[in-house]
Amino acid sequence: MYGLTKDVAISAAIYESTDRLLCHDDELEGRRIAFILYMVPEDWSAEDGGHLDLFNVDKDTIQPCSVAKSLLPKYNTFNFFEVSVKSYHQVREVLSKDKSRVSISGWFHGKPFNRPPEHRE
């Protein structure tokens, strides 16, 4: 279905107070399925921030337009999502001053996508 190869990339990240990752897609170098293992403290809450926001896209421009789903990092959870030219997401600002959003993330790879032409205003 996804035509995955044996290539897997993995990295670790620590987001601390005021850290965030702006809206983007992961479609690069044949990335096909993204994964995230959260290692946040067990008492991580919505007030701590650091949510993973998944976006809807505009049907005409294939650009992100609104948050479709927001996932709070939870201790020892493993999330997956498909990487495509429409899989925009972001990491919301970490609001906690004394907790860190720690995660291991990566991608299963496959054949790269044919990207649509870039949208120009």
Which domain CATH number covers 25? 2.60.120.620
Residue 47 lies in a domain: yes
pLDDT in tens, the chain (121 residues): 568 999 999 999 999 999 999 999 998 889 999 999 999 999 999 999 999 999 999 988 889 999 999 999 999 999 999 998 899 999 999 999 999 999 999 999 998 777 666 666 6
Q: What is the DSSP string of 39-92?
A: ---TT--GGGB--EEEEEE-TTT--EEEEEEEE---TT-EEEEE-STT--EEEP
How many domains is the chain partitioned into structurally? 1
- Is 99 among the domain residues? yes
Three-class DSSP category at 100: coil
Which two structure tokens, joined as six digits, stand for 42? 């067990």
In a domain, 87, yes or no: yes
- Whether residue 117 is contained in a domain is answered as no
* Residue 92: domain span: 4-110
